[in-house]
Structure 1
Amino acid sequence: MIINKNITHFNYSIEKKWYIINAANQTLGRLSSKVAYILQGKNNIEYAPHIQNDTHVIIINSKLIRVTGNKRTQKAYKKHSGKPGSLKIETFDKLQARIPNRILEKAIKGMLPKNSIGRKMFTRIKIYANSEHPHSAQKPLLINEI
């Protein structure tokens, strides 16, 4: 039996990156899948599913997101408190008028892994309804067209 004692260990350099994404006139599903792709670190050459990268994503203009087809009136968002008769159903239009960030949050969270790493990834996303955000000190990369 031959044992190789010269085992090399990979040294991953975790670099903090900030991305700003303008959601104005972007399709909900396409934007959400690309943001989930960036949060998972799959756009990096050193991607490994068990390594937590330090990527942060800022999404601005979430109130201007668009959907195709009849989803604006037919798509339903449901919530339930657990008590009998407490099911609340809200359409895309009503939720976008009330809380426009919640639409993108639910779409992106559904595309992330369902484990502790996915929950940590979700904390690194910041969504704002307008074009103003308080993260100007980080010098983020501006992505207009994804």
Structure 2
Amino acid sequence: MTTKTYLPTQDSLEQKWYVVDAADQRLGRLACEIASIIRGKRKPIFTPHMDTGDFVIVINAEKVQVTGKKASQKLYRNHSGRPGGMRTENFAHLQNRIPERIIEQAVKGMLPKNALGRQLFKKLKVYAGPDHPHMAQQPEMMTINTLPKGDN
């Protein structure tokens, strides 16, 4: 007698929408939790090679925090593809210019580096302010406690 391994089908998948407030959250800890939700690791039907995760909407991306001197020392690199086309800017400058990109880059680095990871990344929606255009999906508010005890 052989037993079959259970594989979720697209019909059995229920993909929810969650809203995460990034205000006063630590960047790395927040990105780790978001990547886990997008990947579907919190569900009992998690399958490594399938998209079983949920959609995540991040609001208040402009208020995300980093510890220590990372605001002035953490560098974000971008290359145009041309010789000498490398551009760098630090965390503080990028946070003023495009705050959404900071969270997008952090979460993207925690997803698989293949076609599945690119598909999962499309489930992340990041907005600088408190408003988002996804009210029709009836997202649930999710609280992520990333502040360690005694850290202010």
Query: Counterpart amino acid of 2:123?
Result: R
C-alpha distance in 2 between matches for 1:9 and 1:79: 43
Aligned to 2:92: 93
- Which stretch of structure 1 is more off in the superposition, 134-143 or 55-64? 134-143
The percent identity for this pair of structures is 45
1:124 paired to 2:120: no
Q: CA deviation at 1:16?
A: 1.6
C-alpha distance in 1 between matches for 2:4 and 2:29: 39
1:45 paired to 2:41: no
Query: Counterpart amino acid of 1:51?
Result: M
Q: CA deviation at 1:124?
A: 0.6
1:58 paired to 2:57: yes
Secondary structure of the structure 1 residue equivalent to 2:102? helix
- Equivalent residues in 2 for 1:1-146 (5 A)? 4=1, 7-8=3-4, 10=6, 12=8, 13-146=12-145
The CA RMSD over aligned residues, in Å, is: 1.4
Q: CA deviation at 1:11?
A: 5.6
C-alpha distance in 2 between matches for 1:8 and 1:130: 47
C-alpha distance in 1 between matches for 2:44 and 2:25: 26
Query: Counterpart amino acid of 2:74?
Result: K
Q: CA deviation at 1:51?
A: 2.1
1:9-51: CA deviations, max 9, x gaps? 6362200211100000000000001100111100001111122
C-alpha distance in 2 between matches for 1:8 and 1:89: 51
TM-score (norm. length: structure 1): 0.91
Distance change in 2, residues 1:108/1:11 (3 Å): closer
Query: Counterpart amino acid of 1:111?
Result: M
2:30–2:144 CA contact under 8 A, matched in 1: no
Structure 2: state its 5+ residue gaps: 146-152
Query: Counterpart amino acid of 2:39?
Result: Q
C-alpha distance in 2 between matches for 1:11 and 1:108: 26
Q: How many residues get paired?
A: 142
1:62-116: CA deviations, max 9, x gaps? 0000000000001111111122222111011110000000001111000000111
Query: Counterpart amino acid of 1:135?
Result: H
Structure 1: state its 5+ residue gaps: none
C-alpha distance in 2 between matches for 1:77 and 1:7: 49
Q: CA deviation at 1:7?
A: 4.6
